[in-house]
Amino acid sequence: MISAFTILFTMALVSLFFHRSFLLKPLSLVALSAAFYVTLGGAVVPLIGFATNEQIKLFELVLEIVLFASILHESEEITITQTLFLGAASVLLLQSNTLVSFILSFEALSIISVVLVSYIKTKNQAQGAVKMFIAGSMATGIVLLGSAFYLMGGGMLLEPLSSKGSEFMNIGVALMLAGLFYKLTIVPFHGWAIDTYALIRHSHAAILSGIAKTVAALAIFKIFAPFLAEHITLSLPLLATLAIITMTLGNFLALFTKNIARILSYSSIAHAGYMLIAFVAVKSTYADEGILYMAIAYIFMQSGAFLALDSLKKEYDIKTLDDLKGFASQNSTLSFFFTIQLLSLAGIPLLAGFLAKAVVFYAGVDAGLWWLVLIALLNSALSVGYYAWIIKSMYFDEGTLKERLVDLHLPQIAQLILAAGTLYFGVFASSVFM
Amino acid sequence: MSGVELIFYPFIIALLTAVFFRQNSAVSKFVALALFTYMLLFSINLFSQLPSSGYLDLGTYLSVPKFDFILTLKVDMLSTIMLTLTSVLLLLVALSSWSMKNQALYYSLLIFFSGAIFGVFMSTNLLWFFIFWELTLVPMYFLVGIWGEERRIYAAVKFFLYTHVASMFVLLAFFLIHKEAGTFDMTLVREGMLLSPVLIWWLLFVGFSVKMPLFPFHTWLPDAHVQAPAPISVLLAGVLLKMGAYAMIRMVLLLLPETSQQYAWVLLVLGLITLFYAGFMAIYETHLKKMVAYSSISHMGLVAIAMATLSYSGLSAALYEMIGHAFVIAPLFLLAGFFHHKTGSWEMKDMGGIMQKAPYISAIFVLAGLGALGLPGTMGFVGELSILLSSIKSFGLWMAVVAFGSMLGAAYIIWTLRRVIYGEMSEVVRKTNFSMNIFEFLALAIFALFIILFGVFPNLLFEYINPAFAQFTSLGGAL
């Protein structure tokens, strides 16, 4: 049976033989297009413990588009291979339906993420990779410990998460969530993320914070939402507190940062806080659409922003806000795409970021949590402060002309694809509400 | 073009203009002029199609039933008046920006703005209303930040952040309305459906007060208006503030009439404070454009007082004053910018005696100034008189204090005229050549014409304004 997973996994294996060949990139793109086509046709997953539905299918399509764009952007062969492996693992994780399949595919995704960042050329990258490796191993340990508690309480490995058991199950789920929140960079489990995202290569950060994190968030929601809904009295105060701390801390720290990669890392943490609102408002019928919309919007805008930053660094060696001054007059195309993604992250309408926030926050209001939504809205308004500041550096400041180190064309097509996605899902919401 | 095309085509035209006319930027002016003329004709044409009461349906698009996220376009008399005012101002602003630098980008941002603002006045779905409401900020942010004066960056970021934060309260209120009334369509929401109308009222009130602006939420305005280039100040004062007032009438007063009745005193008190506070600030200012900005805030205080009456005559007076204020304040902003451009100074003491050098231009400044202080025969007089009368009718004779507000207006305007236009000719003015582009002068002349025309024949406007508030006829007499 041909499915998106088999195509991606096979291509990832085959790509090992095409190293240093000009064929690698076109072949990968063809494979991704084939995976897109197969997903569009609605291939059934025959494996036990895996299931798919319309929403997961839509997200897989989006995921394949974003993977396509990031491979188009990428110039290192080894990263292309790893991206394909990561895509295969992501498809598995999204479709996993039982605890054991979830944990296994989650581990697969984590291991590939670690391999991805281990492509080390400088001391800084080594620091980022090691931090991620240590934090990731911790998280894995905690998830496994949590699942052990869960099984001790009477849970079943080969079934979806249920709450028919003893108190140990609650402890187990709480521990598993703690481990998983490492990946989602929820405060206070966020420490590793800022350094890792900011220090490793920006195109890797795009995959890590844009793709891997979003896939994890959606998969965690799919597995854990029924359980959280049943224990709403326990989960609501805890998760609401985490959501408030996460978005507030992320936004405030971003305000006082000069390094663009760090700003995007903090903004990634703040967005994890917004996503958590869907977990809090799990009782609402809008929570499903909320997290799905957030995932779709976020995967486009976060990967877009980080990939644009990667081009900025490669082509002009831009790192801080000061380097960015007057950039719009130099490369208006790149700054236009970067601006679109930043405005979307800031939640400006007609871009996906706004509708995603609107649906997630509406789910919060629908669940009766208007105070939480008010805090989230004010946070989102505050975040305009630093996004607008980046745009200000590009457009309003006078800068010195920078020397163009290399001339890249494919990344601009990648940017076009991602910006088109951000625009499309900012206007046509009907595809998400099925 | 239909209504929805008139909203979305400008976005595409703006992008194309910015990309393709970068080398040949003069074309962008004519693209903008053609589009804005079409918009004006479209809005005027709407008057003949409007039903005698209620809404004219312009179609529904992009329907997402589950979230009630539907682009519903409906216009009534109130929104058609706002559309017409907006397109007149856009057209005149396009004329008076004739010699801007970097024109392709400038005019494409203006075109983008025109699409968003048409969306604000046409859509009756609250979520889409909010989308367009926020979207107007983006072109304004760039217009102020790129073409503004010395402290433009500070002003642009402050404007963006301040009004964006305020909008968040509005969005939360819309969410609550949808949760409690089950719909985002403002024409279907009735106050009786809502469980927490007071909370919603306050959220909306705070959100819209910032845009109007009312004391104490006005602090973004002096910065933004002063640092913006002169034509953009006209748009800020003539369109963006009116957008706030329009939303205040439509979403607060008409949507929640009972709660508004209960809290009308808040609007009245803030309106009075705004009127006097901004009036005194305008007297104190020696910075010409800041004086105009404070005068603008002061007039919005008058509009708020008229709204607080919640009566037929009061709301009609408010709408008339909104239009009058737009036409009166526009030439003041344009000329303040022009004088600064020529003399290189904002301070009134550096000007003086401009009348001797540039009599025609000065005459327009004097006329607009007299309009701002409410001289009979200008639009300002009709607006202030009808506001005074309607507020006395609603709140009693003590509302005659509003007349003192107008006296403050007389104080700052006459004193400014004496220092800038008349008086001894300063050294700076003596050396300056006050020549003006013909298109910019044309825009000013049209503004001056409107000030006198609607000042002498106010019924030309009231004929359209009065039916906008027909549902209030039971509450009080007409003018």
The whole-angstrom separation of Cα B313 and Cα A286 is 44
Whether the Cβ atoms of residue A72 and residue A413 lie closer than 8 Å to each other: yes
pLDDT of residue B473: 53
Report whether pLDDT(A313) > 80.
yes
Per-residue model confidence as pLDDT tens digits over B37-60: 999 999 999 888 888 777 888 888
Name residues whose C-beta falls within 8 Å of residue B58's C-beta, 6 or more positions apart in sequence.
B2, B3, B4, B73, B74, B75, B122
Closest partner residue to A381 (CB to CB) among B66, B132, B165 is B165
Q: What is the DSSP letter of A96?
A: B
Closest partner residue to A365 (CB to CB) among B157, B167, B176 is B176
For residue B153, what is the nearest residue in chain A, using CA coordinates? Answer: A396
pLDDT of residue A424: 93
For residue A289, what is the nearest residue in chain B, using CA coordinates? Answer: B67
Report whether pLDDT(B478) > 50.
no
Whether the Cβ atoms of residue B47 and residue B95 lie closer than 8 Å to each other: no
Instruction: For chain A, give the mean pLDDT.
Output: 88
* Interface contact A423, partner B, CB < 8 A: no
* Interface contact B167, partner A, CB < 8 A: yes
B443 to each of B26, B364, B449, how far by Cα in Å? 18, 11, 10
Closest partner residue to A373 (CB to CB) among B66, B157, B172 is B172
pLDDT of residue A46: 61
Please judge whether A370 and B156 are an interchain contact, meaning their C-beta atoms are less than 8 angstroms apart: no
* Interface contact B157, partner A, CB < 8 A: yes
Please judge whether A384 and B160 are an interchain contact, meaning their C-beta atoms are less than 8 angstroms apart: yes
Per-residue model confidence as pLDDT tens digits over A283-307: 888 998 899 999 999 999 999 999 9
For residue A357, what is the nearest residue in chain B, using CA coordinates? Answer: B171
Rounded to the nearest angstrom, the minimum Cα separation between B202 and chain A is 13
Instruction: For chain B, give the mean pLDDT.
Output: 87
Helices (H), A153-230: 167-184, 191-199, 202-205, 213-230
3-state secondary structure of B73: strand
The residue among A274, A288, A350 with the most chain B CBs within 10 A of its CB, best to mutate, is: A350
Please judge whether A433 and B63 are an interchain contact, meaning their C-beta atoms are less than 8 angstroms apart: no
Reported as a pLDDT band with limits 50, 70 and 90, residue B477 is very low
Instruction: ipTM value, please give it.
Output: 0.92
The whole-angstrom separation of Cα A84 and Cα A318 is 28
The whole-angstrom separation of Cα A24 and Cα A74 is 11
The residue extents of the domains of chain B are 3-475
The whole-angstrom separation of Cα B156 and Cα B141 is 5
Rounded to the nearest angstrom, the minimum Cα separation between B269 and chain A is 27
Reported as a pLDDT band with limits 50, 70 and 90, residue A212 is very high
pLDDT of residue A270: 93
Per-residue model confidence as pLDDT tens digits over B340-398: 888 888 888 778 778 878 888 888 888 888 888 888 888 888 888 889 888 888 888 88
For residue A425, what is the nearest residue in chain B, using CA coordinates? Answer: B62
Please judge whether A362 and B178 are an interchain contact, meaning their C-beta atoms are less than 8 angstroms apart: yes
> Which range among A15-19, A44-48, A181-185 has the greatest average pLDDT?
A181-185
Q: What is the DSSP letter of B458?
A: T
* Interface contact B153, partner A, CB < 8 A: yes
Residues of B in contact with A378 (CB under 8 A): 165, 168
- Average pLDDT on A77-100 reads 90
- Average pLDDT on B206-231 reads 89
E strands, A350-390, are none
Tokens at residue B154, please? 């500070």
Whether the Cβ atoms of residue B165 and residue A378 lie closer than 8 Å to each other: yes
Per-residue model confidence as pLDDT tens digits over A349-404: 889 999 999 999 999 999 989 899 999 999 999 999 899 889 988 888 887 777 77
pLDDT of residue A235: 87
Please judge whether A430 and B63 are an interchain contact, meaning their C-beta atoms are less than 8 angstroms apart: yes
Closest partner residue to B64 (CB to CB) among A354, A384, A429 is A429
Between positions 178 and 237 of B, the ones with CB within 8 A of A are 178-179
Report whether pLDDT(A51) > 60.
yes
Per-residue model confidence as pLDDT tens digits over A231-265: 888 889 999 999 999 999 999 999 988 899 999 99
- Average pLDDT on B414-438 reads 82
Report whether pLDDT(B476) > 60.
no
Closest partner residue to B157 (CB to CB) among A354, A370, A389 is A389
Report whether pLDDT(B211) > 60.
yes
